[in-house]
């Protein structure tokens, strides 16, 4: 069983894009009446993690696109595809593809760094908890439930005191029923 049964294993490779899905492009490209802007789908190099998807879709990415001259471009994620809306192949070729690739690498590196920091913190916490549990067990072992030895008259007096106490309990209904 994988150590990542509930969470996707973190990748050591940056999220990137492999190629354009040519079959998803509009049929009117390179005709007399091509669409001005359209959606281009590109295939991720691997399945993106949820934190990566969040950042691809997030405000920082939208701001980067707008400040870089692509205010109308919108990115969406569909399984292992990045959908780049309101663009053209020429726009991608002339710089948008590189900008997206750099952003994906930046996101991957940040997510990986955060994951490593979280793992380090969890390991530190686990080590401290193990030390604490060992200290508690050691302290618990020092507790001894033994009465000091009693001899002679003191032993008889103690036995008599216990007998009187037990009879008192029995008189008020606290005794052992037979």
- The per-residue pLDDT for 146 is 82
Decide if 53 is inside a domain: yes
Kindly list the distances between the CA atom of residue 33 and the CA atoms of 25, 27, 37, 88, in Å, as whole numbers in the listed order. Answer: 14, 11, 12, 14
Decide if 117 is inside a domain: yes
Q: Please write the tens of the pLDDT for every residue from 67-90.
A: 999 999 999 999 999 999 999 999
Joined tokens for residue 44: 């991720």
Decide if 98 is inside a domain: yes
Q: 154-170 burial, b if ≥16 CB within 10 A, otherwise e?
A: eeeeeeeeeeeeeeeee
Owning domain of residue 47: 17-129
What strand order describes the sheet that includes 38-44? 17-20, 38-44, 81-87, 74-78
Decide if 156 is inside a domain: no
Are the beta carbons of 25 and 85 closer than 8 angstroms? no
Find the range with the poorest average confidence among 3-17, 45-59, 75-89.
3-17
pLDDT-derived band at 7 (thresholds 50, 70, 90) equals very low
Decide if 100 is inside a domain: yes
Positive/negative CA dihedral, 166, 167, 168, 172? positive
Decide if 101 is inside a domain: yes
Joined tokens for residue 75: 């990115």
Number of structural domains found in the chain: 1
Kindly list the distances between the CA atom of residue 113 and the CA atoms of 6, 46, 56, 119, in Å, as whole numbers in the listed order. Answer: 20, 18, 17, 10
Nearest-angstrom CA–CA distance, 143 and 42: 67
Q: Please write the tens of the pLDDT for every residue from 27-38.
A: 999 999 999 999
Decide if 155 is inside a domain: no
Q: 40-72 burial, b if ≥16 CB within 10 A, otherwise e?
A: bbbebbeebbebbbebbeeeebeeebeeeebee
More confident residue, 97 or 178: 97
Q: What is the pTM of this model?
A: 0.64
């Amino acid at each position: 069983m994988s150590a990542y049964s509930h969470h996707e294993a973190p990748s050591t490779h940056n999220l990137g894009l492999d190629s354009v899905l040519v079959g998803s492009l509009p049929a009117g490209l390179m005709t007399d009446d091509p669409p001005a802007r359209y959606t281009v789908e590109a295939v991720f190099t691997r399945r993106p993690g949820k934190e990566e998807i969040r950042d691809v879709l997030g405000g920082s990415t939208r701001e980067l696109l707008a400040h870089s001259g692509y205010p109308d471009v919108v990115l969406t994620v569909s399984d292992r595809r990045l959908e780049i809306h309101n663009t053209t192949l020429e726009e991608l070729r002339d710089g948008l593809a590189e900008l997206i690739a750099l952003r994906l690498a930046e996101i991957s590196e940040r997510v990986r760094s955060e994951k490593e920091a979280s793992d380090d913190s969890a390991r530190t916490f686990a080590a401290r908890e193990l030390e604490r549990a060992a200290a508690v067990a050691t302290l618990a072992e020092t507790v001894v439930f033994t009465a000091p030895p009693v001899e002679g008259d003191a032993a008889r007096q103690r036995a008599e005191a216990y007998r009187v106490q037990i009879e008192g309990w029995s008189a008020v209904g606290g005794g052992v029923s037979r």
